[in-house]
Amino acid sequence: MDAPQQITGNIHIPPAQVTLAQAFRYWLKLGFISFGGPAGQIAIMHQDLVERKRWISERRFLHALNYCMVLPGPEAQQLATYIGWMMHRTWGGIVAGVLFVLPSLLILIVLSWVYAAFGNVPLVAGLFYGIKPAVTAIVLQATHRIGSRALKNSLLWAIAAAAFVAIFALNVPFPIIVASAALIGYLGGRVAPDKFKVGGGGHGKAGKSFGPALIDDHTPTPEHARFRWFGLAKVAMVGGLLWALPMALLTANYGWDQTLTQMGWFFTKAALLTFGGAYAVLPYVYQGAVGHYGWLTPPQMIDGLALGETTPGPLIMVVSFVGFMGGYGHALFGTEHLFLAGTFAAMLVTWFTFLPSFIFIFAGGPLVESTHGNLKFTAPLTAITAAVVGVILNLAMFFGYHVFWPQGFSSSFDWLSALITLVAVIALLRYKRGVIEVIAACALAGLALKAITGG
């Protein structure tokens, strides 16, 4: 039962030990309620695991979070994996990490099928007519949110501007922008270190006590979490095999240039570039999935982001929609097995997107546990975060173009979509309304406008 972990009496009484079965139930529940993006998901875990259940202390929680924030990948999912691993070894980490994304994957597969099969139905089309402007507003909000946190001096503003020009005007690939920003940060951190001291978890100060925790400030590092070179080599070998074997099977059965094989390779690269959150890697996904491979169209990419925003789990789960649409639209298993093709492709890209996160936690966790001093953002990461702001602004402009001029600049300006976007931006930035709330209101507005105009 979960009841013993609910603190309703004396906070000085240590909580009862937690079994893997009890942890399983919690991680499953979290997978269905983890709305609100990484900030909301981290807040839920902090309230549950630090304040109420006391599975881990505030300081150890933030220590793990700071490590996850310097990794590529979804930090909230990695944090869940880390805590699960600390409590119940490797299987605990696997359970926590998988259940964090599994409900979202299943929900997105169903929603993707509904979208692909019935997207042209007037009801669905009307809803998405309102959702597209909402997504544009959400990306603008992300630009503002990340920019206000990251751009603390003129040098970082210059890096953001250069990144915007590079991707908008010069069409420079996203990996090159990330690598260039990292190099600037590395060199700048040596020449002008004060300019790059912007990092940190940003989730509060460690040290507040909610009572003794199972993993407390001074709890000795568990035996399985102690660093050993053999353990690091084993994780690297197993992780490498879990990546290499599926890629080898795909290549042997379908060939290197086939869609499924290229999805595996492409989303492996995407997984290693998700510094700064999902919005940072979306331009790279767009460049590849839409521009290079043609797995889906620009409007479908916008709709996929909307679906990702309205489902639990990390936003990067939008890659599951990309995979589904690619498998479904290209009829990879024949026209009689469209749903199967989409489902298989969605599961495939999810595997390659999240596998590196597990490897990072299981390989790097023992190194992190070897010291309990707070980790800092490195200067290269600070520069990458600044560049991400410019990249996300480009993404907002890309979405705006396809929403306001759906047939291209030669067509008329869609002022109704612009109006919905403006209202959504005001609701998000001025009145701090929730993302799901804004998307729902815009969807209803789009449905009403389509009914009125007869579009």
| Residue 401 binned pLDDT confidence (cut-offs 50, 70, 90) | confident
pLDDT digits (tens, 9 = 90+) for 25-34: 999 999 987 8
The pTM (predicted TM-score) of the whole model is 0.74
pLDDT digits (tens, 9 = 90+) for 251-269: 999 999 999 999 999 999 9
| Residue 345 binned pLDDT confidence (cut-offs 50, 70, 90) | very high
On the question of pLDDT at 49 being above 80, the answer is yes
Q: What are the Cα distances from residue 113, in Å, to 56, 118, 297, 334?
A: 40, 8, 16, 16
Q: And the tokens for 284?
A: 């790279």
pLDDT at 233: 95
| Number of neighbours of residue 268 by Cβ within 10 angstroms | 17
pLDDT at 378: 57
Q: And the tokens for 423?
A: 């209202």
Per-domain boundaries in the chain: 105-202+228-453
373: left (phi over 0), alpha (psi -120 to 50) or beta: beta
Q: What are the Cα distances from residue 37, in Å, to 32, 41, 42, 312?
A: 13, 6, 9, 8
For range 72-83, the mean pLDDT? 90
Q: And the tokens for 134?
A: 């909402």
Q: And the tokens for 369?
A: 């546990």
Interior/surface letters 229-263, b for 16+ CB within 10 angstroms, e for the rest: eebeeebeeebeeebeebeeebbeeeeeeebbbbb
State the chain's mean pLDDT as an integer: 85
Tell me how far apart the alpha carbons of residues 82 and 384 are, in angstroms, rounded to a whole number. Answer: 24
Q: Which of 39-43, 179-183, 374-378 has the lowest mean pLDDT?
A: 374-378
Interior/surface letters 313-324, b for 16+ CB within 10 angstroms, e for the rest: bbbbbbbbbbbb
Backbone dihedral angles phi then psi of residue 215, each to the nearest 5 degrees: -110, 90
Q: Comparing 209 with 126, which gets the higher pLDDT?
A: 126
Tell me how far apart the alpha carbons of residues 79 and 75 are, in angstroms, rounded to a whole number. Answer: 6
The closest alpha carbon to 130, from 306, 301, 283, belongs to 306
